[in-house]
Every structure is written in structure tokens, then in C-alpha cells.
Structure 1
Amino acid sequence: MDLTPPPTLAELVSPPAGSAMRRRDFIFGAGTSSYQIEGAARADSRLESIWDRFCATPGKVLRGETGAVACDHYHRWREDLDILARLGVDAYRFSIAWPRVMDEAGRPNHRGIDFYKRLLGGLAERGIRAFVTLYHWDLPQHLQDRDGWLNRGTAWRFADYADLMSRALAGHGDVAAWTTHNEPWCSAYLGYGDGHHAPGLKSPRWAAQAMHHLLLGHGLALPALRANAPRAQHGIVANVAPGYADSDTAADRDAAHLFETFQNRWVLDPLLKGEYPADLWRYWKGCEPAMQPGDMDIIQRPIDYLGLNFYSRALLRSAGPDTMAWVRRPDVERTTMDWEVYPQGMQDLLEALDREYVRLPPLYITENGMSSHDAISRGEVDDVQRQAYIKRHFAACSRAMENGVDVRGYFIWSLLDNFEWAFGYERRFGLVHVDFDTQKRTLKRSALAYADFLRERAAG
């Protein structure tokens, strides 16, 4: 007879005993982004974004769904902040919708700005720190009409936007951290390289140029952010993944190296080394971006932290010289995004980045989570796979910290089921289930376990 007591609710997700993640100064949170949850697409003079236009284009988004309503967070923000308070998180990571806060001439839209002032005030009232992202992919369409991130001028418009928002929100609840861009790799490659995301353009040359201007905008924004919010941390968030060779051949090892160059170093080398990785141009021959003298000095301005979004790994084989092919193994656990569940990849990646970059700043895991087919049964959502996913990734992060990697916080993606970009509402990442017909929120068992763990940590 097995007399082992069943795990407590907190133990379903909690880090291992003795983990540095259990320290009181380690930040736990949850994240969202503006277009994925806010809705209110035409409220209070909000302008059209590239995602509004993309969603309105037939065939671009599953079932033709849009973010026009999403989670209606614009009107239900108080309820959502109460959920954050119930979870007991230290911090909330959210993004500002650029089209909501400025008009086409660059003047402030005070009604849109007031929404974020209320949000910051509500977080302060609940004792929750704000991690604010300026750009989570919803570029104003009028800028895209002038070539978007292919236009060097957009980097300066972004710096103007960062200056406006960091001045406008000063004194309206404390912003603990400002993030310039979320996942510039996605904005550049998925938006301008393969067309899977807005604005739907397809050229590796365009992707390389868009990336350069995104990173330039990041660097240009930093002086204003530091001047207007001197007590905050300032950084950027990259989506990263480790590449593993399908076999121990030199060709497959090179394919894994090319993947990590394309996925990770394309963003991190300019930020932390002041140069693009040479091997990227082996993969994308002749696609080097147009640059001006001094650009790399601007891009590599020091940052206070680097956010890392981690979901899975890639398994690679060679498809010929300077090329790679993804390998899909059929016998592994996957999420409904068809991403392999591979927690060890988080430890491997964190430790590899720590070895590779001399200038690596303190790290935050700014996104980690999974999509699953979550349904309410008898008023509950018992998302068993997500509970195990969180626990195993907490353990992987803990091992990396034990080995010397400086990780300061961890944000689960996402707070709410939401609009999952080109997949519409089919893929559910939330700790909280959202009925998109009624907007009813239901905390999943993973959320209840997360809350119990955070209560235990606070009490200890």
C-alpha cells in the first residue's frame, strides 16, 4: 500500500525545496499584452494597428477572428487586477497599445493614456509592481503605411513614443521596469520575413532591415526612459530557444549552431556585443541591413536587465551547406501549439548564455507557459499538463540558478486566455479561463496552485 500523502495544492507547481526562487526578493508574476486582451479597438480615439488590418485580411487569422473585443480588459481591468491580487503575484507584466496613446501627428491621446494611469494606480493600490512593455507588436497602421519597421524613421517615432509614455505615466503608480520591445525576432521575422504575423510581408532581406530598425529604436529610446524614470529598470525582452543536433555529425552540429544564430544571436549579439553574428549571413546570404555609422553604439547601450521568453527547443539536422531543417519527433510530449515540452532546454540555454556573453545583465524569465485544450467541468478547469509544465520549468530555472545564472524573476504566460495572434482564440495559454461569449473568468487549478505556493512563500 502506498502511504505517500498526495501533494498539496502548492506542490503541484512549486519550485524544489531550497531553490533560490523561493527567496523573498525573487519576483513572481504573470503577463499579458495589449492587443491580446484589451479589446475596445475603436474606443477613446484609438487608431488602427497593423494587427487590426491583418485580422481584417481574409485568410490571415484562424476563423477570421480578431482582437476587437478579446478579453475586454479595457473595461474589465479592475476585475483582472483583483485576480492578480488573489494570485498574490509580486508583479504584472503588460504592454501599452501605441495606437491608443498617440495620434498620427504624434500628439498624446489623453483618453488612452488615462487608461494606463488607472491601470498603474490600481496595481499600486494592490501592492503589485508594474513591468511595462512599450511595444508588443501593435504598430500604428499609419506608420506601416510608410513602410513600418523598414523605414528608419520609425525608430525615431518609437523613441518619441517612449519619451511621451515615460513622462505621462510618471507619478501614476510606480513602474518597476520598462521594456522597449517584446520579442523583436517575432516582429522582424514573422512580420517581415515569413508573413505569419502582421504586417504579413515575406523577405529575409526585409526581416533583417526591420530587425535593425527595431533594435535601433530600442537604443534610441533608452536615454529618455532613463531620464524620465530614473528609479526604474530598463531593458528588452527576447524570445530564445536552444538548438540541438539530431545526430553527432559535424553537419548536424552546424545546423544547430545556425539555428541558435538565427533565433538567439541575431538579437543578442547586437545588444551585448555590438555586432551582428557573421554566421547569420551564411544562412541569409546578401541580406545584411543598411546601417549608418554609430548605429551599433546606439543599439548596444547598457541595459539593466534582459527578459527571456522560453517555451521549447528545436531539434535540427543539416539540409545542405549553410542550411538547416527542423526535425519533429513523434514520441514526445507536446502542447496544442505543437511545441515540444522540454524543460531541460531552459537550464541548458540559461547556462549557455551565461557562458557566452561577458556583458550579460541580470535575467528575468518574462514568459514561460503552454497552451492546452482547457474546458470547464463542474465549474473547474483541472489543467494537469500546465501544472506539471510549470513545476518542471521552475525546477530547470532553479538548477541554472544553482549553477550561477543570475535570474531575478519569473512571469508565467499568460494571466488570461486571450487572442493568440494568427491562431485566434483556439490556443489557450491562460492561468485563468475566459469564456469569450460571456467574458466570465475562472481560475484554473494551475492558478490556484500558483496562488497557494505564493501564499506559503509569503508566510515563510
Structure 2
Amino acid sequence: MTTFPKDFLWGASISAHQTEGAYATDGKGLSVQDTRPRDNKDICDFTVASDFYHNYKEDIRLLHELGLKVFRFSIAWTRIFPTGVGLINPEGVTHYHDVIDTCLSYGIQPMITLYHFDLPQSLEDTGGWSNRATVNAFEDYARFLFTEYGSKVKYWLTINEPNIMLLVDKKILGKHIPLKEKYQQFHHIMIAEKLAFKACHELVEGGQIGPVPNISIVYPATSKPLDNQASLYFNSIRNWLYLDFACKGIYNPIALDYLRQKDVVPQMEPGDDAIMKSAYPDFISVNYYSSVTVEYPEADVDMMDGISDQQSEDIMEKGFYKGYTNTFLTKNEFNWTIDPLGLKTTMQHINDRYALPMMITENGLGAYDTLENGEIHDDYRIAYIREHLKACLEAMSSGITLLGYSPWSAIDLVSVHEGMQKRYGFIFVDRTEKDEKQLKRYRKDSFYWYQDIIKTHGETLQKEK
């Protein structure tokens, strides 16, 4: 029977802008997440968030109690370079040394994401990812981090979910990006990722680095050939376009056909082809929440009902694919489909295509948690993670090398779409959308359950129904 190895990297994940708060403290510059327009004025923003910036020592102590071997967090670019380039902010540099050192003092390996949706606003003002100069700025930023923290940090992740950032731009970035510009941004982002692979291997002795897209297998709604074509195209556009670039140094041919039909093939600069083939990842980190199902849009019809932010059925590209509600799957409170087997299937496809080790770096359940007498009974989260961990074991038994599992999220954070009410963490942060209260931390039932899973290397999974 397959079991999790003794050196398995049990972890949990957060991002800077969703947890740190202190958005203009100690020399930090503004990012696009600080300035983005928000359609829902009733949810909180990122100015205070979970105040991880001031509470990181307590939070990391709790993560040590939880038993984590690795802690995935991102560095806010604007804490290091307040305008994205130029002068370095020494207070920001010192802060992340302290966060890293606190992790290490508890025997927790830091796993750092270079970029998690929070481009410096100063760079956005000069064109953002549409401007090739942003690629150079990102490379300089990445090289600084590798040089500054590389002696302490072994595991690095590049750019969080570039596919989601571009596919659902309005929801993640607060604005719509025209299709041609969007895929020019894709090219620049992926070139930047390649330069980060190269820099990490040059500057971090023994360092390992991987891409971190959101990968979800796309099912056809029926056995109709046109539905199969729809899933073929959306799999390529949503998933393989990003991983083929990262892991093979090529444009996925099916996605490239889509780009040509839409007349949005990105412009390449001289030398880009060489950059694409210059460096490759050591592993693939996978953010997975749900599978996707599509059909072929044979008529002009509206998008599906049941919109559930970025994982939803609210997708349609005329002539290619349209979201479809999969009636064989259940949904959570926020209308996301729950598909543990889809995780195994997704991992098998990734392994078949790239034959690289994997890490699960996001996987979790957003829910309305209730604090009652200092306790949070979140059996629904336990059930979700239990079934996905079992899917991980099944994937490993099929021959996949899985290095670790870091679900979303370590502590409650501000959901990009639903604010503080949509909670993911093992640790409850006591605040509401409008009232920051004392931001007191409480262990949820899932905290104790995951603690036991880590302690027993997942052996208790075999005993649970």
C-alpha cells in the first residue's frame, strides 16, 4: 500500500497581499492589489487583511504546532522595491529575513513565491506586463531575492497562476484586458518565468524552482465529437499553454492554433526562442481546486448560471468552448464543484506530459466558518482535504512523484472575490469585513485533524471513511 514518505513536505500556503496588511507600512510601495477597483464595496480590502505582517511570529509558532515541514508564502515586490525598480527598501528586506529566520528556528522550510498577483503600481502605470521593461524589472527583483535569501531558502515558486490572472483578469486584477494585449502579457510573463528559472539555478546553491499555475483537467460535457474538441482546446488554452512553455520551451500547438484563429499571436523579440529553451523547472507546483467541464457552443447562448468566480462555468469562447455544469459532481457553498478524482486525473495528465516531480501548492475549501465559544467546527473542510489527500495517494501509487502538499490556506485570509467571509485557513482570524476586532487567532477542528495527519504521515487516512 502506498504511503506518504517520511520526508514528505507537509505544508500550507498564503500570499502576501491577502494576509500581510500593513499596506503602506515601513516603506512599502503600492501594488495593483492596493489600488484595484472593487465591485463589491461590502467586503474588506487588503489594507489590514489578517495582519500577518505584525503577527507572523505568533502565526509561524502556530504552524510549528500544526507540524508543518514547509510554509509557502509570497514576498511583496513593493516591500523590496517600492516602485518596482531602483531603490531598495531596507526595512522590507529585513522583514522577510525575520520571517524566514522565524520559520527556520522552528524547523519549517520556507517556500517562497516570487510574485502573487501584486505587480507594483508604478510598473502598471508604465504598461505593466504589456511593457517588455516589466520583464527586466522582474528579473532584477528575482535575482535580488535569490542573492539575498538564497542561502536560507531552497524551494522557490515563480509567478502564481498566470493562467487565472489572464483568463479571469477582471476578477483577479480588477480590469478587463483586450485579448491581443492579454496574450502579449502571457508571453512576457512566461519569458520572465524562464529568466527566473535561469537566475535561481545560477544564484541559489542547491535551489529548486517550479512554475505555479492553476491546473484543472477539462472534461467534455458529452461524448459528442464537438464537445471533445471543446475540451481539447480549453485544456490547451487553460493548462498546457503555460506548462508547455515552462517545461518544454514551446508554444502548445493546439493553443497556438487558437491564437492564430483569433489573430492574437504574441510578438516575440530576437532571442526569445533561445530564452524559452534556456532553463527548465525542477518540479511542477500545482494549484488545484476543481475540475472544469465544457461543451461546444453550437448556438449563441448566454453563459451558464451558477457562477462561482474563477473556477466556474462562466466561460465561453464562440466557436471553441462553453462552460457546462457537471451534474455528476457536487458543489460547495460558493458554487465550486468538488472533484477529488479530478486531482488524480489532473496529476496523471501532468505526469504523462512532463514526467517531473510535483507539489500541490494550493488545494482547499472556502466556507462560512462560525466561531462558537472559541471553537470552529469545520468538518466540511476536513472532508474536502481528506478526499483530496486520498487522491494524492492514488496518484502516487500510479507512479507519480509527489514531493509535498501545501493546501490553501495556513491562516484565514482575504478572498479576492468574497473578502473575509470566505475562509480557507486551519487557523481562524477573528475579524469581519468591517470590524477588525483584535484579530485573535483560534485553532479550527481542521487544525487538529491535519496535525494528526502530519504526525502519522497520513496513516490515519487509511482508517477514516
TM over 0.5: yes
**3-state DSSP class of the match of 1:364?**
strand
Structure 1, unmatched stretches of 5+, are: 1-17
Any conservation in 2 of the 1:433–1:444 contact (CA below 8 Å)? Answer: yes
Any conservation in 1 of the 2:30–2:82 contact (CA below 8 Å)? Answer: no
- The letter of the residue matching 1:74 is Y
Residue 187 in 1 paired to residue 172 in 2? Answer: no
Residue 374 in 1 paired to residue 369 in 2? Answer: yes
1:69 corresponds, among 48, 56, 70, to 48
1:424 corresponds, among 406, 419, 426, to 419
Distance 1:170 1:113 in 2: 13
Cα offset, 1:223, TM superposition: 2.9
The 5-angstrom pairing of residues 105-254 of structure 1 reads: 105-171=85-151, 174-191=152-169, 195-198=170-173, 200-254=175-229
Cα offset, 1:60, TM superposition: 3.0
Distance 2:41 2:2 in 1: 41
Cα offset, 1:201, TM superposition: 2.8
The size of the alignment, in residue pairs, is 432
2:59 corresponds, among 64, 67, 80, to 80
Q: 1:24 — aligned with what?
A: 6
**3-state DSSP class of the match of 1:389?**
helix
Distance 1:130 1:307 in 2: 15
2:320 corresponds, among 302, 319, 323, to 323
Any conservation in 1 of the 2:29–2:120 contact (CA below 8 Å)? Answer: yes
131-140 vs 291-300, which moves further: 291-300
1:387 corresponds, among 382, 385, 388, to 382
Residue 442 in 1 paired to residue 438 in 2? Answer: no
**3-state DSSP class of the match of 2:322?**
strand
Cα distance, 1:296–1:61 mapped onto 2, change above 3 Å: farther
Cα offset, 1:175, TM superposition: 0.7
Any conservation in 1 of the 2:247–2:281 contact (CA below 8 Å)? Answer: no
Any conservation in 1 of the 2:82–2:120 contact (CA below 8 Å)? Answer: no
Distance 1:336 1:299 in 2: 41
Q: 1:7 — aligned with what?
A: none
**3-state DSSP class of the match of 2:406?**
strand
- The letter of the residue matching 1:448 is Y
What per-residue deviation string (whole Å, max 9, x for no partner) do you get for residues 306-331 of structure 1?
A: 10101001111110374211112467
- The letter of the residue matching 2:453 is F
The 5-angstrom pairing of residues 330-409 of structure 1 reads: 332-357=329-354, 360-409=355-404
What per-residue deviation string (whole Å, max 9, x for no partner) do you get for residues 139-172 of structure 1?
A: 100000011001111111000001111212244x
- The letter of the residue matching 1:325 is K
Distance 1:255 1:428 in 2: 33
Cα offset, 1:293, TM superposition: 3.2
Distance 1:248 1:98 in 2: 46
Q: 1:12 — aligned with what?
A: none
Cα offset, 1:407, TM superposition: 1.2
**3-state DSSP class of the match of 1:142?**
helix
Distance 2:156 2:48 in 1: 26
- The letter of the residue matching 1:265 is W
Any conservation in 2 of the 1:218–1:299 contact (CA below 8 Å)? Answer: no
Any conservation in 2 of the 1:383–1:444 contact (CA below 8 Å)? Answer: yes
Cα offset, 1:187, TM superposition: 2.6
228-237 vs 246-255, which moves further: 228-237
Any conservation in 1 of the 2:427–2:447 contact (CA below 8 Å)? Answer: yes
What per-residue deviation string (whole Å, max 9, x for no partner) do you get for residues 89-143 of structure 1?
A: 1100000000111133422111011110000110111000010111011110000
- The letter of the residue matching 1:337 is F
Q: 2:34 — aligned with what?
A: 52
Q: 1:4 — aligned with what?
A: none
Distance 1:281 1:458 in 2: 42
Any conservation in 1 of the 2:19–2:46 contact (CA below 8 Å)? Answer: yes
RCO higher in structure (CA 8 A, sep ≥6):
1
Distance 1:232 1:119 in 2: 19
**3-state DSSP class of the match of 2:457?**
helix
**3-state DSSP class of the match of 1:412?**
coil
Residue 101 in 1 paired to residue 80 in 2? Answer: yes
Q: TM-score, normalising length from structure 2?
A: 0.89
Distance 2:251 2:41 in 1: 35
- The letter of the residue matching 2:291 is R
Any conservation in 2 of the 1:182–1:237 contact (CA below 8 Å)? Answer: yes
Distance 2:274 2:335 in 1: 39
**3-state DSSP class of the match of 1:279?**
helix
Structure 2, unmatched stretches of 5+, are: 299-317, 461-465
Any conservation in 2 of the 1:62–1:424 contact (CA below 8 Å)? Answer: no
Q: 1:258 — aligned with what?
A: 233
Distance 2:221 2:199 in 1: 46
1:267 corresponds, among 242, 265, 270, to 242
Distance 2:107 2:193 in 1: 29
Any conservation in 2 of the 1:189–1:204 contact (CA below 8 Å)? Answer: no
Distance 2:136 2:187 in 1: 13
Q: TM-score, normalising length from structure 1?
A: 0.90
Distance 1:296 1:385 in 2: 47
Any conservation in 2 of the 1:50–1:138 contact (CA below 8 Å)? Answer: yes
- The letter of the residue matching 1:443 is R
**3-state DSSP class of the match of 2:330?**
coil
CA RMSD after TM alignment: 1.9
